[in-house]
């Protein structure tokens, strides 16, 4: 299944580029969530279920929520 | 330095380092054929030495447990730093209502959302506790289960609203849970030291293979890390949510249309 | 395929650095920092991978079947969780900057002057 590993690595590279290239923080939150999911799939394909659990829980739910709260707080403080 | 100057310097540095990175990539062992023997030795020896089946948890909490103490204390320090920074400058007149930007539409909470969140939050917390408990047997452990429990608290916020959520997830309780977790980890490392053995030695009975309580001290350390991570992330999320609250004496309706 | 993970790790790190250098918003900058962190995860997990092997959790398959290196999994998994907490700390610092200086644009912030 080497094509699966290669495809997952290339998808991770593309989603990382999307996170950087979305300049608006509100859009970047969704790119971060997608990046977390893609990385979780990559870690799963690389035979690392523990790491995939950790990355999906953190990178898809907790980190984008922290970013959303930070954006909301920075707008409200103005 | 101007923006174009910074970008030019970055591009020059990347151009200089690119051939170096390429040479390093060629010199590393080929992908899929590692040459290190440490990992394969652990895979061969540790299932019988410690009677656990999750090698990653064994490495985290027993074989390289000392590094995990450092990571745990790093988590504690980051949480303390974020809490001190955010609480220290918030002021006294923050209420329970969400801060509103003028002209923004307020959508109420749908009944379906409340129902799904109430059911899913309880199930998710149970799942998180399951992942923590089975840390030494199946993929999982304190770190993953702790984050899952913290995200179940978020579902409570989605379903119930901010005031009810703060009543359920109180900051002193979360801080106590987090501190107890870190303290239990340090105690598990210090008790063998007081008896003249190396720190974090496995002094409890090892249990049977594939059993829930196998691994000796690993069970205690696993549960301690689960508590600490859940408490840390709950505290961080609470502090960030409180940042989005507005002043108390606004007379605009909040998200509950009160 | 022999060098693909190292190339992807270098690419992610490079593009994360590019995002940090050309960022116009501190919150966006912290997101690019998390891309740099994910480069290290890809590199570490790529080092321990063995073709045709199973995860290092011997619940379904008996110990002795070929398995991936578990030490790197342990490193990466604590790193992910602690990295999220450090991201929270950085966001708290960014919020303080917003409160005190009124702007969250790195290009408009200058170092504080000495009180003359």
Per-domain residue ranges of chain A: 2-76
Query: Is the CB of B147 less than 8 angstroms away from the CB of A76?
Result: no
Q: CA–CA separation, A67 vs A72, rounded Å?
A: 9
* pLDDT for the residue B254: 57
Chain A residue at shortest CA distance from C51: A2
Q: Which residues of A touch B (CB under 8 A)?
A: 49-50, 53-54, 57-58, 61-62, 65-66, 69-70, 72-73, 75-76
Residue B196 DSSP label: T
Find how far residue B20's CA is from the centre of its chain: 36
Count of domains in chain C? 1
A-B Cβ pairs (cutoff 8 Å, strict): 53
Tell which wins on pLDDT, C111 or B58. B58
Chains that touch B (3 or more CB pairs under 8 A): A, C
Which range marks the domain in which residue C37 is found? 4-108
Could you tell me if B38 lies within 8 Å of chain C, comparing CB atoms?
A: yes
Q: What is the pTM of this model?
A: 0.91
Query: Is the CB of A19 less than 8 angstroms away from the CB of C35?
Result: yes
Split at pLDDT 50, 70, 90, the class of B127 is: very high
Closest chain A C-alpha to B57 CA, distance in angstroms:
9
From the list C6, C80, C85, which residue is nearest B28 (CB)?
Answer: C6
Window from B146-150, B172-176, C14-18, C108-112 with minimum mean pLDDT? C108-112
Instruction: Count CB-CB contacts under 10 A for residue B12.
Output: 10
Query: Is the CB of B229 less than 8 angstroms away from the CB of C96?
Result: no
Mean pLDDT of B128-140: 92
Query: Is the CB of B101 less than 8 angstroms away from the CB of A58?
Result: no
Tell which wins on pLDDT, B254 or B109. B109
Beta bridge partners of C63: C65
Q: CA–CA separation, C37 vs B32, rounded Å?
A: 22
Query: Is the CB of C84 less than 8 angstroms away from the CB of A49?
Result: no
Chain C residue at shortest CA distance from A10: C8
ipTM of the complex: 0.91
Spell out the domain ranges in chain B: 54-94+110-245
Length of chain A: 78
Find how far residue A35's CA is from the centre of its chain: 2
Mean pLDDT value across chain B: 88
Chain A residue at shortest CA distance from C43: A9
* pLDDT for the residue B252: 59
Helices B111-133 and B217-243 sit at what angle, rounded to 10 degrees?
150
pLDDT tens digits, one per residue of A30-76: 999 999 999 999 999 999 999 999 999 999 989 999 999 999 888 87
Q: Which residues of B touch A46 (CB under 8 A)?
A: none
Query: Is the CB of B147 less than 8 angstroms away from the CB of A50?
Result: no
| CA nearest neighbour of A48 among C103, B55, B67, C95 | B55
Query: Is the CB of A74 less than 8 angstroms away from the CB of C94?
Result: yes
The two structure tokens encoding residue B94: 């923050």
Instruction: Find where tokens 């909301």 sit.
Output: A72
Query: Is the CB of A73 less than 8 angstroms away from the CB of B244?
Result: yes
Q: CA–CA separation, B97 vs B100, rounded Å?
A: 9
Closest chain A C-alpha to C57 CA, distance in angstroms:
9
Question: Is the per-residue pLDDT at B258 higher than 80?
Answer: no
Give yes or no for a contact between B89 and A77, defined as CB atoms under 8 angstroms apart.
Answer: no
* pLDDT for the residue B80: 94
Closest chain A C-alpha to B82 CA, distance in angstroms:
12
Is C88 within a domain?
yes
Q: Which residues of A touch C84 (CB under 8 A)?
A: 58-59, 62-63, 66
Question: Is the per-residue pLDDT at B109 higher than 90?
Answer: no
Is C69 within a domain?
yes
- CA distances in angstroms from B120 to A75, B139, B151, B256, listed in the order given: 31, 22, 11, 21
Closest chain A C-alpha to C89 CA, distance in angstroms:
10
Question: Is the per-residue pLDDT at B249 higher than 70?
Answer: no
Q: Which residues of A touch B99 (CB under 8 A)?
A: 72, 76
Give yes or no for a contact between A63 and C84, defined as CB atoms under 8 angstroms apart.
Answer: yes
Mean pLDDT value across chain C: 90
Q: Is A74 helix (H, G, I), strand (E, B) or coil?
A: helix
Is C114 within a domain?
no
Element (H, E) at B98: strand B94-98
From the list B140, B141, B240, which residue is nearest A69 (CB)?
Answer: B240
Q: Which residues of B touch A73 (CB under 8 A)?
A: 240, 243-244
Q: CA–CA separation, C5 vs C7, rounded Å?
A: 5
List the alpha helices (DSSP H) in chain B.
Answer: 3-27, 38-50, 55-58, 65-88, 111-133, 142-160, 162-168, 171-194, 217-243
Q: What is the CATH number of the domain that holds C80?
A: 1.10.287.3510
Give yes or no for a contact between C55 and B37, defined as CB atoms under 8 angstroms apart.
Answer: no
Question: Is the per-residue pLDDT at C36 higher than 80?
Answer: yes
Query: Is the CB of B237 less than 8 angstroms away from the CB of A62?
Result: yes
Split at pLDDT 50, 70, 90, the class of B148 is: very high
Q: Which residues of B touch A70 (CB under 8 A)?
A: 240, 243
Q: CA–CA separation, C4 vs B46, rounded Å?
A: 32
Could you tell me if A55 lies within 8 Å of chain C, comparing CB atoms?
A: yes
């Amino acid at each position: 299944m080497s094509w699966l590993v290669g495809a997952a690595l290339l998808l991770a590279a593309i989603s990382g580029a999307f996170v950087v290239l979305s300049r608006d923080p509100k859009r970047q939150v969704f790119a971060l969530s997608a990046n977390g999911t893609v990385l979780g799939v990559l870690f799963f394909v690389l035979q690392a279920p523990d790491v995939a659990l950790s990355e999906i829980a953190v990178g898809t739910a907790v980190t984008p929520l922290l970013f959303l709260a930070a954006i909301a707080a920075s707008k409200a403080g103005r | 330095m101007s923006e174009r100057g910074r970008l030019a310097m970055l591009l020059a540095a990347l151009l200089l380092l690119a051939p170096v990175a390429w040479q390093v990539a060629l010199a590393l062992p080929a992908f899929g054929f590692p040459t290190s023997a440490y990992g394969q030795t652990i895979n061969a020896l540790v299932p019988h030495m410690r009677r656990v089946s999750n090698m990653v948890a064994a490495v985290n909490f027993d074989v390289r447990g000392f590094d995990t103490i450092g990571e745990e204390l790093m988590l504690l320090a980051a949480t303390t730093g974020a809490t001190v920074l955010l609480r220290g400058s918030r002021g006294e007149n923050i209420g329970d209502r969400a801060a509103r930007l003028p002209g923004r539409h307020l959508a109420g909470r749908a009944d379906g959302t409340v129902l799904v969140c109430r059911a899913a939050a309880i199930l998710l917390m149970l799942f998180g506790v399951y992942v923590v408990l089975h840390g030494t047997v199946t993929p999982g452990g304190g770190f993953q289960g702790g984050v899952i429990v913290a995200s179940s608290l978020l579902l409570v916020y989605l379903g119930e609203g901010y005031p009810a959520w703060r009543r359920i997830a109180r900051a002193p309780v979360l801080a106590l849970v987090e501190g107890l977790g870190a303290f239990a980890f340090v105690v598990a490392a210090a008790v063998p030291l007081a008896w003249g053995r190396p720190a974090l030695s496995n002094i409890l009975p090892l249990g049977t293979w594939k059993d829930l309580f196998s691994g000796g001290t690993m069970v205690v350390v696993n549960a301690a890390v689960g508590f600490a991570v859940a408490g840390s992330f709950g505290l961080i999320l609470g502090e960030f949510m409180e940042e989005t609250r507005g002043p108390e004496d606004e007379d605009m309706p909040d998200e509950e249309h009160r | 395929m022999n060098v693909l993970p190292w190339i992807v790790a270098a690419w992610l790190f490079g593009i994360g650095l590019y995002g940090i250098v050309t960022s116009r918003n501190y919150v966006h900058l912290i997101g690019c920092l998390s891309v740099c962190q994910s480069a290290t995860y890809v590199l570490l997990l790529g080092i321990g991978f063995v073709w045709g092997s199973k995860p290092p959790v011997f619940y379904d398959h008996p110990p002795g079947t070929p398995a991936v290196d578990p030490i790197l999994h342990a490193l990466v998994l604590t790193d992910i969780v602690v990295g999220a907490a450090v991201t929270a700390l950085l966001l708290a610092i960014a919020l303080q900057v917003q409160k005190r200086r009124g702007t969250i644009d790195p290009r408009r912030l200058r170092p504080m002057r000495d009180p003359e």
